[in-house]
Structure formats: structure tokens, C-alpha cells
Amino acid sequence: MRVLLLLIVLFLTLERLSAQMIPFKVGVDQCMCPIEDKLTERNKSVYSKLLRLNRANYFESKDSLLLKEYIKEYEACIDSLSVESSRFDLIEIIKVSHCPLIMANAFVALKNMNHGIYSDAEIIELLNLHIKKNESIANFDQGCGKHSKFLFEYMISLGDRPNFGDLNSLSEVKKYHLDIDLSEMKVAKHHYLKYIFDSKYYNTGINALAEFQPKEDKEFTYQQIKSSIISAKNSLPKVELDSVSALFEFSLLHRIIPQWEGTLWSFEGHTSIPKKGYIACGYFVSTTLQDVGIKLNRYKLAQQLPINEARSLAFDQQVITITEFDYLERIKKIKEHISDGIHFIGFDEQHVGYVLKQRGQLYIIHSNNLGEGKVMIENAEYSDAFYGYAEVHIVELSNNQKLLEAWINGNEIKIVM
């Protein structure tokens, strides 16, 4: 009888304890922690819903309709998070969540709190844990890739803090021990990198072509700008190559190209007037080169394959061709092969533009057919063009002696076909 009573007491004790224990995932391990009673009343339902969704194997779902329903439920959880959530609430919600959107919102809320026991270092450890936990997130990324940026907003926001300094590159971010080697994770890393750099917290350097434009040019028409470039070119001593190079780059990059910013792209667009009509990528290059004073047939040049456009502009220079499937490695190789200045770039057999190297950064200036559908400048590290094409063909322009001689002397460029 005594043994039976002891067993009953033990059973009741275990049952009572198990009722208080709520399972949740930390990393890849299953843990038990009685936290629900510690949560503020308004966040208990959020926490419970997260547990339920996690048990439903959200990330293993193959059903696209079911995936959308789960996304809606996760978004509802975000909307219901209390503005006055305690730091404890947010930490525990981060731990239990398998959803980047929820985790990121909680991280941003934590970042905005100036009190509590959790340091930046401890929060970074939590972020590392969840980056690792979400290695198999391809389905989520396909379902709502736009949410990728939220996952890293807390991380990028550290750049605003004096003790972390400016986060000017992905390599500098890695100094702070953040596990973001996305090449080792089976995810759509392009989305993550793109939205990291799109984040309002991140300084990408040059963000608009208008930043190049001299204030004086705002008072002139496009025709007046072209005429003044021709006058400056004709008055320049032809023997001073450095001066010719500087004038060419200034005229093309600062005076001609900025006028085209925002002009809409279309496949057959060939307008000759900035911001009126449509311009294809090839015509954007050929028209701006013609307008800076290079004598060429803009129609013929625009209609060639990228490699032939490169050969046409190269003269006796070697065309730099780089084939590399990892686009960050491709960008690294381009930086190693070209000097500062503006260059022609062709992508595989489909796209062309200018590539600008300036102060260690690489930018693409093009009529963007893959992204926003207009003339723009982009940091190469988050450009769809750099991500989408494995092979590039590059020719120097502002440092190409033969091209500069043709420009200054008015010699026509022969189009390679």
C-alpha cells in the first residue's frame, strides 16, 4: 500500500510539472522550459500559436496554398506582438520562432530597448543560433522572399552604434562573429544579400546617378550639355592623355549619364531623348557614348552581342572576360582586373552597361532589364545583373588610349559584327 501511495504521489507530481512545461526549439535541440506563465498576457497567445505552427512542420510543407496560409498566420502573430512587450517576452519569442519575419521584428524591438540584462553580444548569439536553425529555408524564401530583409535588420542596425562602427561591407560584418556565410547554407542567398544592402541601415555608397551631376548642369538643357562637352573637347591639347582621360570620364559619368537616370527600359527602346520614351540596355550605352562625342553608329553598336560591343570599343586592348559562377567571387575578380574609372561591361550574350570602380567599390550603371526596369546605378553586390550572369566581358573606357584618341580626333569607331 505504501509503495502504491508513493507511486500515486510521484505520478501526480510529474503530471503537475509536465503541465507547466512548454516545449520549444533552441537550435536543433528540443528543450523544456516553463516560460508561458512569465509572458505578459497579451503575448501568451502569440507564443502558443508559434508553438502550434512549429509542430505543423511549416518549413517541410510542399503545398503552396498551405504555405501561404502559414505565412498569413505568422504575419498575424507579428501584428499582434505588443508594442510594450518586455525584453523577456521578445527573447523567448525569438527562441521559439522559426520565422525570419517574427524573429527580425523581435530583434528590432530589442535593439530599440535601452534597458534590460541582454547585451548586444548576447543578442548576436541568439541571431547566430537562428541563422543556423534556418538553413533549410528555401520554401519560405520562395513563398515570401521579400521578408528576407527583416531577418538581418537588427544586425545591420548595429552599424549605427558607436561601439560597432560603420558596416561598410559583408566582410566587415563578419568581424562581429555573425554566421552569415550564406554560401554554406542551402538558401537563396541572392535574396538575403540584396535585401541586406537594401536595408535602410546600410550605407551602399553611391545610390543615385544624380549624385554625380554638377549643380551648374541643372540649369542647362541636354543639348546645351552635349554642345559644351564638344567645345571643351575641341579646346583640349591633344597631347595630354591624362587631361583627355579626365575630361572624357567627367563628361560621360557626370554630365551625360545622370541625365538618363529614370528613363524606362524596354527591349526595343531606342529613344535619343533622356526621360522620354524607352531605352534598351544596348541603346543606353551606344547613345550615351555618341552623345559624349564618340563618332559611332548607335544603332549598329546596340544591336551586337555583348562580346562584339566590347571588341568594337576595345581597339587593340584585350577584352577582359571573366567566367565565374559564384557572383561574389566574380565581383572580386573584376575588382582585381580593372583600374578605377568607368568601363564597358557585357553580361553573357544578353545584357550590357557600364561598370564603375570607385574607392574600392564596384557599381553597375545600366538600363536595368532585370530589376526596376529603368536607367539606374546599383552596387554590384546586390545587382540582379551581377547575380544572373556567369560570364562578363569588360573593356576600359576612360583609360583606353586608342578610344580616347578616336574621341578627341573625331575618328569613327568601326563596329565589330
Q: Which of 111-120, 247-256, 368-377 has the highest mean pLDDT?
A: 247-256
User: Among 24-28, 61-65, 336-340, which range has the highest average pLDDT?
Assistant: 336-340
- Beta strand 351-358 with 361-367 is antiparallel
Say if residue 319's pLDDT is above 80: yes
What does the pLDDT average to over 70-76? 57
The residue that leads in pLDDT, 360 or 35, is: 360
CB 186 within 8 A of CB 136: yes
Q: Answer yes or no: is pLDDT of 70 > 80.
A: no
Cβ proximity of 58 and 98 under 8 Å: yes
> pLDDT at position 328, please?
80
Out of 93-107, 193-207, 364-378, the most confident range is 364-378
Predicted pLDDT at 111: 53
Give the CATH H-level superfamily of domain 209-409.
endopeptidase domain like (from Nostoc punctiforme) (3.90.1720.10)
Cα–Cα distance for residue pair 3/297, rounded to 1 Å: 101
**Of 223 and 17, more confident:** 223
Task: Give the residue extent of every domain in the chain.
Answer: 2-198, 209-409
| Position 147 confidence tier, pLDDT thresholds 50, 70, 90 | very low
Amino acid 312: pLDDT: 96
Q: 155 pLDDT band (50/70/90 cuts)?
A: very low
Q: Are 347 and 292 in contact (CB under 8 A)?
A: no
Decide: pTM greater than 0.95: no
**Lowest-confidence region among 173-182, 327-336, 378-387, 391-400:** 173-182
Confidence band, pLDDT 50/70/90 cuts, at residue 381: confident
Q: What pLDDT score was predicted for residue 351?
A: 93
Residue 164 vs residue 223, higher pLDDT: 223
Closest-CA residue to 301 (of 278, 318, 280, 273): 280
